[in-house]
Chains A and B, each alone.
Chain A
Amino acid sequence: MRGPEGARAVIVYGDYECPFCAALEARLGALELRVTFRHFPVRASHPRAQPAALAAEAAGLQGAFWPFHDALFSDQGRLEDPHLWARAEALGLDLERFDADRRSDAVAARVREDFRGGIRAGVATTPTLFAAGFKHAGRPGPELWEALRQA
Chain B
Amino acid sequence: MPVIEAGQPAPEFSLATYEGDRFTREDLLGRITVLVFYPYAFSPICTDQLSVYQEVLEDFEARGATLYGVSCDAVWSQQAFREKLGLTIQQLSDFEPKGETCRAFGVLHPAGFPERALVMTGPDGTVLWSHQAENPGVTPGANLIFDALDAARV
Contact A122 B141 (CB under 8 A): yes
CA separation between A19 and B45, bound complex, in Å? 11
| B52 contacts partner chain A, Cβ-Cβ < 8 Å | yes
Q: Give me 8 A-to-B residue pairs in the complex whose CB atoms sit less than 8 angstroms apart, sorted by A's number.
A: A20-B46, A42-B47, A42-B55, A43-B51, A43-B55, A46-B47, A115-B55, A126-B46
Contact B45 A125 (CB under 8 A): yes
A interface bracket (residues with beta carbon within 8 Å of B): 20 to 34
| A58 contacts partner chain B, Cβ-Cβ < 8 Å | no
Residue on A nearest B145 in the bound complex, by CB: A119
Residue on B nearest A46 in the bound complex, by CB: B47
The number of chain B residues with a CB under 8 A from chain A is 23
| A44 contacts partner chain B, Cβ-Cβ < 8 Å | yes
Contact A125 B46 (CB under 8 A): yes
CA separation between A20 and B44, bound complex, in Å? 13
What's the least CB distance linking A37 to chain B, in Å? 16
In the bound complex, residues from chain A placing their C-beta under 8 Å from that of B54 are: 44
Residue on A nearest B139 in the bound complex, by CB: A124
| A123 contacts partner chain B, Cβ-Cβ < 8 Å | yes
In the bound complex, residues from chain A placing their C-beta under 8 Å from that of B143 are: 119-122
| A18 contacts partner chain B, Cβ-Cβ < 8 Å | yes
In the bound complex, residues from chain A placing their C-beta under 8 Å from that of B45 are: 125, 138
List A residues 68-121 near B (Cβ within 8 Å).
115-116, 119-121
CA separation between A121 and B146, bound complex, in Å? 12
